[in-house]
Structure 1
Amino acid sequence: MSEPTAALFQRLTQGVYVIGVAHIETRNAFTAAWVMQVSFDPLLLALSINPNHSCYRLLKEGQSFSVNVLKKRHLDLAEHYGRPAQTDKFVSTDWIADRSGLPHLREALAWFACEVMSEHPAGDHVLVLGKVMNGEMLDSEAGPMLYRETGSMDGASALYPASWS
């Protein structure tokens, strides 16, 4: 465990998102911080996901994902969707499904709907490139939540190496 290394990496500016996945009638979502725009033409977003995560199978089967941008005050949503999928996470939150079945949080600052274009191995994660098919700004006055504001909620500090190799 390396708290100083975790603190260093928390200085990278990144938001906090709820990633929605769906296949047929099955939906799930998880909290992520590793999302970024990578292209203008076509509009592409990159998502990093652990291939052992319970949502990865739905992402592969559905070949699409939604990115729900959380507001500064949404630490409770980040924690809720960051928990293991033991129950239906959507029961206690306000959401809608788009035409393809992807979940969008009504409380989000904004959302994007993406179609998977490709995957690339990235260490212990997989980098998924998604073509943006749709999106909507839901609250133009709100500021986005930053990963640093979540503290050690995700336990990631235990995953950083104690020293550089």
Structure 2
Amino acid sequence: MPITSESYREALRLFPSGVTIVTIKAPDEPRLHGMTVSAFASVSPSPPLIMVCIDHSTSSYPLMERAGTVFAVNILPRDKMDLSNRFAWVKDEDRFAEGAWKTAVTGAPILEDALAWLDCTIYARFAAGTHTIYLGEVQASSVPRPDDEPLIYWNRGYRRLALADD
């Protein structure tokens, strides 16, 4: 029996993940773009590669397909839940009204007080069902808040880390 979309989502929402804001700077596009993304992972330390998955139905997807587009992955600390929600639900043009933003090497927006950030060029892309997997080659990175806790998403809600009992 084939798996349904609902049973697929039900299983995957039990996998906890960190929360990121992926920000995008596309050529010939004056406005900044960004979205909350939990489908993020490291791929390779040499060359330094990461991956993000972007849904084809988002307003950011066509921008990611443009030649010369760059992006940054901003790993969120626990106190950025409101900013995560803003980038998930507020209209694209209003998302950057909050937060302290700067640029690094590529020109993609960087959240100054992220837990960590990675500034990337697009290394490769792979269509995969309703999403495209983008490999980003990291051009610069920083860890502004190394001692803070990350924002975690699990089972339809934000969570905190806790040490496991031995």
- Normalising by structure 2, report the TM-score: 0.80
Query: What RMSD, in angstroms, separates the aligned Cα atoms of the two structures?
Result: 2.2
User: Would you say the 8 A contact 2:55–2:131 is kept in 1?
Assistant: yes
In 2, Cα distance between equivalents of 1:149 and 1:6? 10
User: Would you say the 8 A contact 1:117–1:129 is kept in 2?
Assistant: yes
* 1:101 correspondence with 2:107: yes
* 1:34 correspondence with 2:39: yes
What is the aligned-residue identity percentage?
25
In 1, Cα distance between equivalents of 2:103 and 2:113? 14
Please state how far the C-alpha of 1:60 moved relative to its aligned partner: 2.5
Alignment of 1:146-157 (within 5 A): 146-148=152-154, 151=157
In 2, Cα distance between equivalents of 1:19 and 1:85? 15
Q: Deviations over 1:12-44 (max 9, x none)?
A: 242100000012433111000000011122111
In 1, Cα distance between equivalents of 2:47 and 2:62? 25
Q: 1:144 aligns with which of 150, 154, 157?
A: 150
In 2, Cα distance between equivalents of 1:142 and 1:66? 20
Moved more, 130-139 or 96-105: 96-105
Task: Read off the aligned partner of 2:62 and give its amino acid letter.
Answer: R
In 1, Cα distance between equivalents of 2:57 and 2:152? 25
After TM superposition, the runs of 4+ consecutive aligned structure 1 residues lying more than 4 A away are: 4-7
Task: Read off the aligned partner of 1:42 and give its amino acid letter.
Answer: P
Instruction: Flag structure 1 segments of 5+ consecutive residues without an equivalent.
Output: 153-165
User: Would you say the 8 A contact 2:33–2:92 is kept in 1?
Assistant: no
In 2, Cα distance between equivalents of 1:149 and 1:78? 16
Q: 1:21 aligns with which of 8, 21, 24?
A: 24
Alignment of 1:64-79 (within 5 A): 64-79=70-85
User: Would you say the 8 A contact 2:52–2:134 is kept in 1?
Assistant: yes
User: Would you say the 8 A contact 1:54–1:85 is kept in 2?
Assistant: no
In 2, Cα distance between equivalents of 1:124 and 1:60? 14
In 2, Cα distance between equivalents of 1:27 and 1:36? 23
Please state how far the C-alpha of 1:129 moved relative to its aligned partner: 0.7
In 2, Cα distance between equivalents of 1:26 and 1:87? 7
Moved more, 20-29 or 37-46: 20-29
Aligned length: 151
Structure showing greater relative contact order (alpha-carbon pairs closer than 8 Å, 6 or more residues apart): 1
User: Would you say the 8 A contact 2:115–2:148 is kept in 1?
Assistant: yes
